């Protein structure tokens, strides 16, 4: 088995690295906004960067050219994603949501008009999506969602409440799941909609995350009237579309590269730092723990490659995506735990302290890692999927 990239793919990696050296704004590096830590300033920088990526056809690389992509093969897309993640380029979950989760689902199920209208803006970095899935009484059991969409003449009228909607306060569109047949079995009465977030009747209220930042929202729909043609795909077939979109959500291919950057930083810190006159790197226990997470990250890398390869073969990763998300989120927690031991009590100090270590990144990752095993479905739900779809075990 040969896991090497081709000469052309390696040359492309170099091209991306060179481009990133020029294009990642110095201020972005200074701000060092990690996952779920956006501020108005970091958000503005990242949106500008994303538009530049869009102009190169690298924001939605696998999309057709007419939608702002460059029809890039999935292995090359993997190389691009590895470089963006390792170099901490100004892209975050909003790009995944818009391009690879909602956008990818729209590519499969949307009408030509919906794709022309929305995907070309997404591919150029001019529009982003939020996901309208979870509700106060529908999280893991998402098929219990109660937001209603009722047909009325040329419109659908939507009423209900969504929760934990990441970036809804910035989003141009919502990829919304709503109940269209309350009498059908719960998985069979749901439809998916494309909702313009500027439509009257939508209220977005902030929820503050574990990092004390505004990344999620509650979204209320009060008699929100959207055009009839904004139904995506077949009425009452939304559960199928939603599950496909969730598989896309769980099939991140750049996570091992992001984790690798974190591991590399911890290793460099260990080599340079000293405590009581001894190099941290000489501590045999921490050395073992770092070696262990390095091995596990290599396993994750193979999972990412498997998913990219499946896409390249026109296969749809399903339980494979859940496996990868589960492993990746638990590994991030392990890395953050080991990291907290490496940086010690100083690791708890935020960037406003002169004694803070590694720009408080370890502490911030430690907190953010609590969310990673919940968003996109909790780790227990990923285990259930691997058991049922992967191992063929019964549902109950
Ligand atoms: C960072 C982040 C971003 C998010 N972004 C979005 C977003 O953009 N849009 C959106 O709609 N939602 C979003 N969510 C919400 C997310 O999808 C839900 O939080 C998640 O599905 C869990 O639902 P819940 O919070 O209602 O927990 P619950 O479903 O109430 O689960 C509570 C606990 O019970 C366990 N549990 C539940 N059912 C089972 C079962 N069958 N087997 C075993 N264990 C079970 C769960 O694992 C969990 O530990 C986000 C969440 C996070 C953390």
Atom of ligand 1 minimally distant from the CA of 166: 8
In this structure, are 215 and 257 located in the same domain?
Answer: no
Specify if 58 maps to a domain: yes
Q: Taking CB atoms and a 6 Å cutoff, what residues make up the pocket around ligand 1?
A: 130-131, 133-134, 139-140, 162, 164-166, 371, 374-375, 377-378, 380-381, 384
Specify if 101 maps to a domain: no
Atom of ligand 1 minimally distant from the CA of 374: 53
Atom of ligand 1 minimally distant from the CA of 134: 11
Residue nearest to atom 34 of ligand 1 (CA): 140
Look at residues 375, 293, 301, 378 and name the one whose alpha carbon lies nearest to residue 336.
Answer: 293
Q: What is the distance between the alpha carbons of residues 145 and 138, in angstroms, rounded to a whole number?
A: 5
Q: What is the distance between the alpha carbons of residues 92 and 38, in angstroms, rounded to a whole number?
A: 9
Do residues 191 and 180 touch, judged by C-beta distance below 8 A? Answer: yes
Specify if 155 maps to a domain: yes
CA of 144 to the centre of ligand 1 (A): 13
215-271 pLDDT, tens digit per residue, is 999 999 999 999 999 999 999 999 999 999 999 999 999 999 999 999 999 999 988
In this structure, are 370 and 256 located in the same domain?
Answer: yes
- Tokens at 52, concatenated: 């530049």
In this structure, are 263 and 356 located in the same domain?
Answer: yes
**Within its chain, how far is the Cα of 246 from the centroid?**
11
In this structure, are 222 and 290 located in the same domain?
Answer: no
Specify if 115 maps to a domain: no
In this structure, are 263 and 375 located in the same domain?
Answer: yes
Specify if 289 maps to a domain: yes
Specify if 107 maps to a domain: no
Q: Which residues contact 36 (CB under 8 A, 6 or more apart)?
A: 93, 209, 210, 211, 213, 215, 368, 371
Residue nearest to atom 9 of ligand 1 (CA): 165
170-214 pLDDT, tens digit per residue, is 999 999 999 999 999 999 999 999 999 999 999 999 999 999 999
CA of 381 to the centre of ligand 1 (A): 9
46-97 pLDDT, tens digit per residue, is 999 999 999 999 999 999 999 989 999 999 999 999 999 999 999 989 999 9
| CATH number reported for the structural domain that contains residue 168 in this entry | 2.40.110.10
β-bridge mates for residue 220, sequence order:
161, 203
In this structure, are 381 and 264 located in the same domain?
Answer: yes
Among 91, 119, 152, the domain boundary falls at 91
In this structure, are 230 and 339 located in the same domain?
Answer: no
R_g of the chain computed on alpha carbons? 22
| CATH number reported for the structural domain that contains residue 337 in this entry | 1.20.140.10
In this structure, are 320 and 286 located in the same domain?
Answer: yes
Tell me which residue range forms the domain holding 298: 251-390
Residue for token pair 């690879």: 100
CA of 156 to the centre of ligand 1 (A): 28
CA of 78 to the centre of ligand 1 (A): 28
In this structure, are 170 and 194 located in the same domain?
Answer: yes
In this structure, are 308 and 379 located in the same domain?
Answer: yes
How many domains are there within the chain?
3
Specify if 396 maps to a domain: no
- Tokens at 189, concatenated: 């009465």
- pTM for the model stands at 0.95
Residue nearest to atom 29 of ligand 1 (CA): 140
Q: What is the pLDDT of residue 395?
A: 81
Burial code of 51-68, b = ≥16 C-beta within 10 A, e = fewer? eebbeebbbbbbbeeebb
| CATH number reported for the structural domain that contains residue 77 in this entry | 1.10.540.10
Residue for token pair 């794709």: 115
In this structure, are 216 and 255 located in the same domain?
Answer: no
Specify if 110 maps to a domain: no
In this structure, are 274 and 375 located in the same domain?
Answer: yes
* Residue to mutate, 138, 164, 197, 248, ligand 1, most ligand atoms under 8 Å from C-beta: 164
- Tokens at 48, concatenated: 């500008």
CA of 172 to the centre of ligand 1 (A): 24
């Amino acid at each position: 088995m040969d896991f090497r990239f081709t000469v052309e793919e390696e040359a492309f990696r170099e091209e991306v690295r060179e481009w990133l050296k020029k294009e990642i704004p110095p201020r972005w590096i200074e701000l060092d906004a990690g996952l779920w830590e956006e501020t108005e300033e970091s958000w503005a920088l990242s949106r500008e960067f994303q538009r530049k990526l869009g102009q190169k056809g690298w924001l939605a690389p696998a999309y057709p050219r007419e939608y702002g992509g460059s029809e890039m093969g999935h292995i090359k897309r993997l190389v691009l994603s590895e470089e963006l993640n390792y170099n901490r380029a100004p892209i975050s979950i909003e790009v995944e949501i818009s391009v690879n989760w909602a956008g990818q689902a729209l590519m499969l199920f949307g009408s030509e008009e919906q794709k022309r209208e929305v995907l070309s803006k997404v591919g150029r970095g001019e529009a982003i999506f939020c996901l309208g899935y979870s509700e106060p009484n529908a999280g893991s059991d998402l098929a219990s969602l109660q937001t209603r969409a009722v047909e009325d003449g040329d419109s659908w009228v939507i009423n209900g409440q969504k929760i934990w909607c990441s970036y809804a306060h910035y989003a141009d569109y919502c990829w919304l799941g709503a109940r269209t047949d309350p009498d059908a079995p719960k998985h069979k009465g749901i439809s998916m909609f494309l909702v313009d977030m500027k439509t009257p009747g939508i209220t977005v209220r902030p929820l503050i995350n574990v990092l004390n930042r505004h990344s999620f929202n509650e979204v209320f729909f009060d008699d929100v009237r959207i055009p009839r043609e904004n139904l995506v795909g077949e009425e009452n077939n939304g559960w199928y579309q939603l599950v496909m979109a969730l598989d896309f959500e769980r099939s991140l291919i750049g996570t091992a590269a992001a984790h690798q950057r974190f591991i590399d930083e911890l290793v460099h810190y260990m080599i340079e730092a000293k405590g009581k006159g001894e190099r941290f790197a000489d501590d045999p226990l921490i050395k073992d723990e770092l070696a262990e997470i390095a091995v596990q990250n290599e396993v994750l890398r193979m999972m990412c490659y498997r998913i990219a390869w499946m896409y390249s073969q026109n296969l749809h990763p399903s339980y494979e995506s859940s496996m990868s998300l589960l492993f990746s989120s638990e590994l991030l927690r392990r890395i953050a735990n080991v990291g907290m031991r490496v940086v010690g009590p100083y690791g708890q100090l935020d960037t406003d302290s002169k004694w803070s270590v590694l720009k408080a990144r370890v502490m911030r990752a430690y907190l953010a890692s609590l969310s990673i095993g919940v968003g996109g479905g909790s780790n227990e739900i990923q285990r259930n999927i691997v058991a049922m779809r992967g191992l063929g075990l019964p549902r109950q």
